[in-house]
Amino acid sequence: MPKDEDRDAVFSRLLEVTYSSTADPALYDDLVQVWENYMARTPDLDRQGPHLTHFNRALGIFAAMGRRRRKHGRDEQLVASFTTPAFLCSRDMTLRHMNAAARALLDGGEADPLRQPDLARAVRTLTATRRTDIVPLPDGEGRLTDCAVISLQDGTGEDGAETGDPACLVVLTKPGQADSPAWTRLSERFELSAAEAGVLHGLVGGQTPDRIAAARGVSVNTVRTQIRRLLEKTGAASLADLVRQTLLICTQLETVALATRLGGRNDGGADDDLHSILTSDGRLLSFREMGDPRGRPLLFLHNMMGGTALPPHIQRLARDTGWRIIAPSRPGFGASDSVSLSGMALVERTARDCRELLDHLGIDAALVLGLMSSAGIAVTFAHMYPRRCAGLLNVAHGAVMDDRMIALMPNPTRTMAQTYLRSALALRFLTRVAVASIDVRGPQHMMRRILGLCPADARLADDPQILQSLGTMLQHTIVQGGEAFSKDGFVSLHDFSDTIRALDPAIPALVLLGAEDAIYRPDQARRLLPDLAAYPVEVLPDAGQYLFYSHTRTVLERATGLWQRGARRRAKNRPARLRNHQS
């Protein structure tokens, strides 16, 4: 597009791309380019811009369409991978996909299971009430198996309209099979000994007490004693009730795990390390724990386009180096409820959420790691709760910003940042197109583009495991839509210099940047941080913006150094009587 093109011609091109992007979100890059061109020619966007009407109309089109996800193929692949029998069906009682385990259980899957009255009734009830139900279903040999019917939130669009995606996940329990991963949780829930769990496994598998005793090499009386303990611990009224209750609980536990992988608010990580608490204002706060459960606590604050399910190599390294990573999903991200706050009020509320999480876990102080855009939240936490901050490590962002740094950023980051500062409506529309682009083209496509902004990061895209993890974490950002992404613009672009200057100088701190980072450039960070001696900057020569993933060992080494410095400070400040007692 010629540089001397007048504003009317640019506006015409903007209209064309605006409406075209509703049908083809892959035009997101073209939209960003044309919009930046238009911004340069429009001084007061939200007052003078004739684009406002058309952006609103395009948003209305998106609302009518709902989120068009590339889900059919993904859901079928996931269900096919389940060893648990399961199938998908739509709200209109159409069977969408049945995996091999379910076909084998249901006599080859030739008969439509939705013709079973109890199951059809459960699906209809689910459609009307969203209430999960467990009903009996005959298998291929006429035996009853428990069938859990779970709602998938992706059955409707943003406005409640049917999108055509599967609305129900149906999970079946194989008769006589008790090797579900849910068994570990069941044993923990009822505090079963290994022997008791073994006896219960045999009973659910259809074995008599005599056969269980023979297989375990113990007397029948011993097995009967263990059965009595099982009845006491589980509250079951009889042996038959114990077996059925166990099958039901295992079905429920496994079904929830499978449904979480398929639909709703999920960042795609393992379910075993995903937990949640209720905050003081009644919101759900989701978090993960990874690494060494007895290690030094590290509060990990995810970035705008990231998540909490860290790649396996980071989890292993954290475990090997003695770090217990606690990673909350910030409000509106992943499975955490959103909050009707923005700007600094949202930042402070997020810091309070983190403090409440540490209270819940019984952790006095943690090293706080702010990744990229969350650096400002990390700084705010350290300022609000200095005694709870054992050290402050900001990675790939220094929590300082100005227009000059923004102007040097590559696209689409530069245009999105400038849009945040100039037009709330335009930001909402561009974010909506970005979300649609990710839905249609897949998160890994977007991550390849982001990583391609610098050579050091581009190398990460060659590792399928890391690329998949980063794509999964990107889903964590948009699973509830684009609101959290839009609000996070404040955290990314706000200048926290005053908060940094007010930090307790006794808190050990470090900003770790990559020399090849094209978005948060180290030279600009040094320009903005010349007089903050307690907040030093270190630049890694062969790293980019995603240095946390490419240089994880170095990051954790710096974290260890900060922790040790903080430990000396805490020991020095400890009351003399306590130090003498410990010595």
Averaged over successive runs of 10 residues, the pLDDT of the chain (583 residues) comes to 63 86 83 87 70 80 61 60 73 78 70 72 68 63 66 44 54 54 68 84 77 88 89 78 67 52 46 76 89 96 88 92 96 88 94 95 95 96 96 96 92 87 83 81 80 86 81 77 81 93 94 94 88 86 93 96 84 50 36
Q: Answer whether residue 330 is part of any domain.
A: yes
**Number of alpha carbons in the 13 Å side-chain half-sphere of residue 89:** 23
Give the N- to C-terminal CA distance of the chain in Å, as an integer. Answer: 74
Q: Answer whether residue 569 is part of any domain.
A: yes
On whether both 398 and 487 belong to a single domain, the answer is yes
Rounded to the nearest 5 degrees, what angle is found at the Cα of 525, between the Cα atoms of 521 and 528?
145
Listed in sequence order, the DSSP H helices in 263-342 are 312-320
Name the nearest CA neighbour of 87 among 95, 70, 126: 95
> Mapped to the 3 state alphabet, what secondary structure does 177-243 carry?
CCCCCHHHHHHHHHCCCHHHHHHHHHHHCCCCHHHHHHHHCCCHHHHHHHHHHHHHHHCCCCHHHHH
Q: Which of 202, 234, 262 is the C-terminal boundary of a domain?
A: 262
On whether both 146 and 193 belong to a single domain, the answer is no
Q: Who's near 380: CB < 8 A, 6+ residues apart?
A: 347, 348, 350, 351, 496, 499
Q: Answer whether residue 472 is part of any domain.
A: yes
Q: Answer whether residue 544 is part of any domain.
A: yes
538, 513 Cβ separation under 8 angstroms: yes
CA distance 409 to 415: 9
95, 113 Cβ separation under 8 angstroms: yes
On whether both 397 and 281 belong to a single domain, the answer is yes
On whether both 471 and 505 belong to a single domain, the answer is yes
On whether both 256 and 396 belong to a single domain, the answer is no
Q: What is the DSSP letter of 388?
A: G
CATH of the domain at 234: 1.10.10.10
- Please give the pLDDT value at position 248: 59
CATH of the domain at 120: 3.30.450.20
Listed in sequence order, the DSSP H helices in 532-575 are 547-550, 552-573
On whether both 333 and 473 belong to a single domain, the answer is yes
Q: Which of 129, 146, 172 is the C-terminal boundary of a domain?
A: 172
How many domains, in total, are found in the chain? Answer: 3
CATH of the domain at 406: 3.40.50.1820
128, two tokens: 């009307």
559, two tokens: 């974290």
Phi, psi of 126 (to 5 degrees): -60, -40
On whether both 499 and 559 belong to a single domain, the answer is yes
Amino acid at 209: P
95, two tokens: 């069977």
On whether both 296 and 362 belong to a single domain, the answer is yes
Q: Which domain does 194 fall in, by range?
A: 182-262
Strand 144-151 to strand 168-172: parallel, antiparallel, or no bridges (unpaired)? antiparallel
Q: Answer whether residue 384 is part of any domain.
A: yes
On whether both 161 and 194 belong to a single domain, the answer is no
> What pairs with residue 169 in β-bridges?
88, 150
Provide the greatest CA pair distance for the chain: 93
- Please give the pLDDT value at position 166: 46
Q: Answer whether residue 496 is part of any domain.
A: yes
Confidence (pTM):
0.65
Q: Answer whether residue 566 is part of any domain.
A: yes
On whether both 362 and 484 belong to a single domain, the answer is yes
Amino acid at 98: M
On whether both 120 and 248 belong to a single domain, the answer is no
On whether both 301 and 247 belong to a single domain, the answer is no
Q: Answer whether residue 32 is part of any domain.
A: no
Q: Which of 146, 172, 198 is the C-terminal boundary of a domain?
A: 172
434, 447 Cβ separation under 8 angstroms: no
Q: In what order do the strands lie in the sheet with 144-151?
A: 95-98, 86-89, 168-172, 144-151, 133-138
